[in-house]
Amino acid sequence: MVLMIICVCNRINCRSVKDAVSAGARSPRAVQAHHGCKINCGKCTAMIGEMIADHVDRCVPQNPMLAAE
């Protein structure tokens, strides 16, 4: 498996982002905080945001339950 560096400033790779998102991080700032750092240049925020959105989309149930009348 090839690990892509997502945040060059803090050396955070794609696996590290996925770990943070799985642990509950729902923003780029929360991903950085999960790893004990802060956003520096900000170039990683769009990619981290996309990774969070992908994770959330996969976790949403395909057939949500509806309340009975």
Q: What is the DSSP string of the chain?
A: -PPPEEETTTTEEHHHHHHHHHTT--SHHHHHHHTT---SS-TTHHHHHHHHHHHHHHHS-SS------
Residue 63: per-residue pLDDT? 64
pTM, two decimal places:
0.81
Contact in structure between 28 and 49 (CB atoms under 8 Å): yes
Q: Is the pLDDT of residue 22 over 80?
A: yes
Q: What is the pLDDT of residue 58?
A: 84
Average pLDDT over residues 42-48: 97
Which tens digit of pLDDT belongs to each residue from 23-43?
Answer: 999 999 999 999 999 999 999
CA 24 to chain centre: 9
